Amino acid sequence: MPHDANARANAGLNVAVLVSVGRHPLTAGTRRADQDARAVEMALTLENAAISLLHAGPADPERQQALRGYLGMGLDTLDLLEQSADADVISVLEEEVRHRAPQLILTGSRAEAGEASGALPFLLAEALGWPIVTSLAAVEKVENGTAVMLQALPRGKRRRLRVRLPALATVDASAPPARQSAFGPARRGKFEHQTRPSEVDEPLSGWQFQEARKRPKRLKIVKASSARDRFKAAAAKAEGGGGQTLADVTPEQGAEAIFKLLKEEGVLR
Amino acid sequence: MLDTLLPVLLFTALALAALGAVRRVRLWRQGRSSSVPVLKGLLRVPRRYLVDLHHVVERDKYISHTHVATAGGFVLAALLAIVVHGFGLQSAMLGWVLLAATTSMFIGSLLVAKRRRPPPSRLSKGPWMRLPKSLMAFSIGMFVVTLPTAGILPEGVFQQGLGWIAALVLAAIIVWGLGEMFFGMTWGGPMKHAFAGALHLAWHRRPERFSDKTGGEHRSTGLKALRLDEPDAKLGVETPADFTWNQLLGFDACVQCGRCEAMCPAFAAGQPLNPKKLIQDMVVGMAGGSDARYYGSPYPGKPVGEHAGSPFGPIVAREGTSLVDAETLWSCTTCRACVEECPMMIEHVDAIVDMRRFLTLEHGNTPNKGAEVLDNLIATDNPGGFDPGSRLHWAADLNLPLMADKKEADVLLWLGDGVFDMRNQRTLRAFISVMRAAGVDFAVLGNEERDSGDVARRLGDEATFQTLARRNIKTLAQYRFSRIVTCDPHSFHVLKNEYGELGTSETPATYHVQHHSTYISELVSANKLSFKAWKGGSVTYHDPCYLGRYNGEYEAPRDVLKALGIEIKEMARSGYRSRCCGGGGGAPITDIPGKQRIPDMRMEDVRDTGADLVAVGCPQCTAMLEGVVEPRAEIKDIAELVADALVIDAPVGKADSTRAAPALALEETS
């Protein structure tokens, strides 16, 4: 139960979750974004946290309907900072975060629509001067202004991090799935609506948007004669080619190694 | 002494009964409002009781005869006892009638007692074991005190010598009898079923269920729409008091005969559901208290005495236990076997869906794949989350006529979500080849079709159901067709019985909907199809719940099979007693574990007939029954059997046969 004495002792963990309007991969309809919903789920499972939902963007009825998906997870209000469609929302988010002073910001790794560059959490963390944790899998404990978090690494590995709060963390598909959004609470939830001056994202206006299409995948032909072979082929790890682990090296050596790799891969010329 | 004591006893019992009745009515009135025609309803009780209820009771001849003797005897005896002994009308003739009535009641009570030696597991014990003795006490007591009135014993026989002692004993017996029959009737004894049952018949939530003198079909199976226009209203049923008052009254009418329990597929499979216990739990909740004084079979795997509730407390707790566990509600396949069997006309499925609505719409707690399926229905209009633009991919080679092109057709073929399922695509192909062979003018909606909303509604997501239904109604309103034909009994039921309530004056949603077996049967009667002789093995037929019990279509599929030259080896449980395949009501999605699987039990029924093939008429049944491990009977849809037997003679109209050819050719190679 969230209301026991122990939980009250560390009451006031103030968590803000940044949520966006998602886009269904098949129908392109608006919805609650999967990763953002996982971020809300993670916030809801934190013991006795005060959660606020924050969205900055245009507030037309269709998008509001999609945002109600987060309210249906059991939250009463969502703060809606209205912005024009071409706005860069970093500065308005920064301002709002400074005003609210949450200890922890959770959000998805990248949006499902729009630029979807995944840069927002980094830019916001940079603007705030906060540390950022990516691929958050769980928050284990929050104590004395420090959070113990599990970060998801490829192939199910986990890394335990101690992070001094305030911090910003992003979740991706390795976080626990979001709970069902219920129609009743979603409909009853309220928007705290504020219109904020929009800072127009200049470069964005020059860009052309087109739908991303999945590249056709080369078929993996398994030449296996027995069920055992087929199983082995299906369960096989992807072969990682080359690479090296650097440990106990000076920053210069590390930078050198990265520079060399980028040249080899043709990223830098 | 008895002359003065009897009226006192009788009127005291009646007064106490009246007091209890007021108290009982107040319990029911805790529920939500529901308007009923009060007087008209009461006037209809005799007919509803003698015709509709008796029709159900009569399925068990033994108890039907027993009940006629006992209840008939009691009602007559009670009325006459009030006149003769209460008001002291000493008429020998009335005395004789009273003797006859009590004799009838006594014989009935002997039969009641015999049935309980030993009591079958479906019957409740506890106070119910006392009932036959109480019936005997009432009938014997009334019989003996009436003997002087009828002139068989001399007047004043109870006022001298040994008579005094006999009078005392008799008075004690009568107190017992009156206590059970009058006092117990309204204070929660077993006889409560008579009082609540009569009023339940009067003010039933589905008056359409009852027959009238005009005859015709009297069936009311469509779920009632939940009003979604008040944003602050609680959705669904959270507490017992959230049911309408006449639903509470209905629960109180339960006579605990356990016929529902004997028919419930979830109970038989060891899933934690027993319809009888569920109704009793609602009664417990309505009055407040724990289920410790329930003396019937428990929910499998859940001991009695651990759950308690109150009229305004939650039925399902978010954490821990309260009145009922959520998995009990999610075990139901909505097959309606319990409702069909219930002699008290209680609506179990309505109640279960009402409670599911709260769990889904307010708690957001649909178990297992429920949430995912609902999300898919919202986003992609089909439960599997497939691209809604790919609804017709399976029929790329069939060149199906689209409503969007034709605008009108005789038959609108409703394909259903089976289009995404490879097994069901075979059924659809078969049915299309049948329609082409018969030269039917038909068209499909194609990508304009959405899920009918059946699964969403039965998972409690009324909002998604209404959205899907309204969109479908809007689409259907654009086209002209004389009937909708579908291979899916679930779509059939929803389109036929549940869309009507959502129609508007501009887009009425009353359609002539037919199941494909009904339509094929009509084509056969019209001599539009000719068949090869049947060469396969023996065949049995599995009635889909949503076709049979929900819509009363038992004959057409059998007629079609007969037309194919098939003699059906009926299963023990067929027709209105058909056992569910386990695929309805979202049960495969919520997937509550039990001791065995419902389809396995059904295939066992098939095995008992020795049939090599089971004919089905529902994509859910096909999927569930084919999921049973081999060796088992083969499963084929009626449409497939018909398509296999088709003989296409060239002269029947060249246009038709040329169009039909490619589809048929493919049918044979697949």
Which candidate from B364, B379, B388 shows the least CB-CB separation from A182? B364
- Check: CB of residue B164 under 8 Å from CB of residue B171: no
Distance CA B544, CA B97 (A): 50
| pLDDT bracket for residue B296 (50, 70, 90) | very high
Q: Do A27 and B461 touch (CB under 8 A)?
A: no
**What average pLDDT score do residues B525-531 get?**
94
The confidence score (pLDDT) of residue A2 equals: 40
Nearest CA among A182, A185, A144 for reference residue A163: A144
The confidence score (pLDDT) of residue B161 equals: 75
Sheet strands side by side (includes A104-108): A132-133, A167-171, A104-108, A13-18, A49-57, A77-82, A190-195
**What average pLDDT score do residues B650-667 get?**
45
- The amino acid occupying position B49 is Y
Distance CA B325, CA B352 (A): 12
Would the pLDDT of A236 be above 90?
no
Q: Do A182 and B234 touch (CB under 8 A)?
A: no
Distances from the Cα of B289 to the Cαs of A183, B256, B282, B323, B645, in angstroms? Answer: 31, 18, 11, 9, 61
Distance CA B81, CA B87 (A): 9
Which candidate from B361, B380, B385 shows the least CB-CB separation from A183? B361
**Which pair of structure tokens corresponds to residue B630?**
């081999």
Which candidate from B232, B319, B371 shows the least CB-CB separation from A188? B232
Question: A199 phi and psi, to 5 degrees?
Answer: -100, 110
The confidence score (pLDDT) of residue A11 equals: 57
Q: Which of A21, A26, A34 to mutate to test the interface with B (most CBs of B within 10 A)?
A: A26
| Residue B378 Cα, gap to closest chain A Cα (Å) | 9
Distance CA A261, CA A267 (A): 9
Q: What's the mean per-residue pLDDT of chain B?
A: 93
Q: Model confidence over B22-50: pLDDT tens digits? A: 999 999 999 999 999 999 999 999 999 99
Percent of chain A with pLDDT over 70: 93
Distance CA B326, CA B366 (A): 9
The confidence score (pLDDT) of residue A206 equals: 85
Contacting residues of B for A74, CB less than 8 Å apart: 364
Residue ranges of domains in chain B = 2-195, 240-363, 381-523, 526-669
Q: Do A183 and B363 touch (CB under 8 A)?
A: no
**Which pair of structure tokens corresponds to residue B468?**
């899907």
Would the pLDDT of B667 be above 50?
no
**What average pLDDT score do residues B295-300 get?**
96
ipTM > 0.95, yes or no: no
Which candidate from A73, A180, A184 shows the least CB-CB separation from B235? A184
The confidence score (pLDDT) of residue B658 equals: 42
| Residue B407 Cα, gap to closest chain A Cα (Å) | 26
**Which pair of structure tokens corresponds to residue A34?**
């999967």
Q: Are strands B442-444 and B513-515 parallel, antiparallel or unpaired?
A: unpaired
Q: Model confidence over A4-46: pLDDT tens digits? A: 434 434 457 999 999 999 999 899 999 999 999 999 999 999 9
Q: Do B362 and A185 touch (CB under 8 A)?
A: yes
- The amino acid occupying position B34 is S
Q: Do A182 and B379 touch (CB under 8 A)?
A: no
Percent of chain B with pLDDT over 70: 97
**What average pLDDT score do residues A209-215 get?**
78
Contacting residues of A for B461, CB less than 8 Å apart: 183
Residues 6 or more apart in contact with residue A176 via CB below 8 angstroms: A38, A41, A42, A45, A138
Contacting residues of B for A27, CB less than 8 Å apart: 379-380, 387-388
Return the SS3 of B307.
coil
CATH class, B240-363 region: mainly alpha
| pLDDT bracket for residue A231 (50, 70, 90) | confident
**What average pLDDT score do residues A184-193 get?**
95
The confidence score (pLDDT) of residue A54 equals: 96
| Residue A42 Cα, gap to closest chain B Cα (Å) | 17
Q: Do A182 and B362 touch (CB under 8 A)?
A: yes
Please give the angle made by the CA atoms of B197, B198 and B202, to the nearest 5 degrees.
115
Which candidate from B364, B380, B387 shows the least CB-CB separation from A180? B364
Distance CA B260, CA B275 (A): 6
Q: Read out DSSP for A192-247?
A: EEEE----B-HHHHT-------PPPPPP-----SSHHHHHHHHHPPPPPPS-----
| pLDDT bracket for residue B518 (50, 70, 90) | very high
The confidence score (pLDDT) of residue A232 equals: 80
Q: Do B364 and A29 touch (CB under 8 A)?
A: no
CB atoms within 10 A of CB A84: 14
- Check: CB of residue A29 under 8 Å from CB of residue A162: no
- Nearest chain B residue (CA) to A22: B379
| pLDDT bracket for residue A241 (50, 70, 90) | low
- Check: CB of residue B192 under 8 Å from CB of residue B200: no
CA A164 distance to own-chain centroid: 19
CB atoms within 10 A of CB A129: 7
Q: Do A24 and B366 touch (CB under 8 A)?
A: no
- The amino acid occupying position B509 is A
| pLDDT bracket for residue B135 (50, 70, 90) | very high
The confidence score (pLDDT) of residue A3 equals: 39
The confidence score (pLDDT) of residue B452 equals: 96
Would the pLDDT of B276 be above 80?
yes
**What average pLDDT score do residues B296-324 get?**
94
**Residues of chain A in Cβ contact (below 8 Å) with chain B:** 1, 24, 26-27, 29, 31, 72-74, 179-185, 187-188
Q: Model confidence over B88-124: pLDDT tens digits? A: 888 889 999 999 999 999 999 999 999 999 999 999 9
**What average pLDDT score do residues B497-508 get?**
94
Q: Are strands B408-414 and B442-444 parallel, antiparallel or unpaired?
A: parallel
Nearest CA among B620, B648, B232, B260 for reference residue B438: B648
In sign, the C-alpha dihedral spanning A127, A129, A135, A137 is negative
Distance CA B444, CA B429 (A): 13
CA B570 distance to own-chain centroid: 22
Between B255 and B216, where is the model more confident?
B255
Q: Decide if B240-363 and B381-523 have a common fold.
A: no
- Check: CB of residue B463 under 8 Å from CB of residue B441: no
Contacting residues of B for A179, CB less than 8 Å apart: 364, 371
Which candidate from A29, A74, A184 shows the least CB-CB separation from B361? A184
| Omega of the bond leading into A166 within 30 degrees of 0 (cis) | yes
Distance CA A32, CA A186 (A): 11
Can you tell me which residue has the tokens 């697949």?
B670
Distance CA A117, CA B274 (A): 54
- Check: CB of residue B167 under 8 Å from CB of residue B2: yes
- Check: CB of residue B547 under 8 Å from CB of residue B494: no
The confidence score (pLDDT) of residue B348 equals: 97
- Check: CB of residue A84 under 8 Å from CB of residue A197: no
Would the pLDDT of B668 be above 70?
no
The confidence score (pLDDT) of residue B398 equals: 94
Q: Which CATH architecture has domain A5-205?
A: 3-Layer(aba) Sandwich (3.40)
Distance CA A119, CA B258 (A): 64
**What average pLDDT score do residues B51-74 get?**
94
The confidence score (pLDDT) of residue A100 equals: 92
Q: Do B388 and A26 touch (CB under 8 A)?
A: yes
Return the SS3 of A21.
strand
- Nearest chain B residue (CA) to A180: B364
DSSP letter at A165 equals S
Q: Which of B356, B361, B464 to mutate to test the interface with A (most CBs of A within 10 A)?
A: B361
CATH topology of domain B381-523: Rossmann fold (3.40.50)
Which candidate from B235, B385, B387 shows the least CB-CB separation from A183? B235
| pLDDT bracket for residue A1 (50, 70, 90) | very low
The confidence score (pLDDT) of residue B144 equals: 92
| Residue A27 Cα, gap to closest chain B Cα (Å) | 7
Residue ranges of domains in chain A = 5-205
- Check: CB of residue B283 under 8 Å from CB of residue B351: no
CB atoms within 10 A of CB A11: 12
In sign, the C-alpha dihedral spanning B54, B55, B58, B59 is negative
Q: Read out DSSP for B118-165?
A: SPPTTS--THHHHHHHHHHHHHHHHHHHHHHHHTSS-TTGGGSTHHHH
| pLDDT bracket for residue B665 (50, 70, 90) | very low
The confidence score (pLDDT) of residue B458 equals: 97
| pLDDT bracket for residue B459 (50, 70, 90) | very high
The confidence score (pLDDT) of residue B666 equals: 45
Q: Which of A180, A181, A187, A214 to mutate to test the interface with B (most CBs of B within 10 A)?
A: A180
- The amino acid occupying position A265 is E
**Residues of chain B in Cβ contact (below 8 Å) with chain A:** 231-232, 234-235, 319, 360-366, 370-371, 374-375, 378-380, 385-388, 461, 463-464
Q: Model confidence over B536-567: pLDDT tens digits? A: 899 999 999 999 999 999 999 999 999 999 99
Nearest CA among B161, B134, B156 for reference residue B145: B156
- The amino acid occupying position A55 is H
Which range has the worst mean pLDDT, A215-229, B246-260, B518-532?
A215-229
- Nearest chain B residue (CA) to A187: B231
A-B CB pairs within 8 A amount to 51
Q: What's the mean per-residue pLDDT of chain A?
A: 88
Torsion over CA of B207, B211, B215 and B218, rounded to 10 degrees? 60
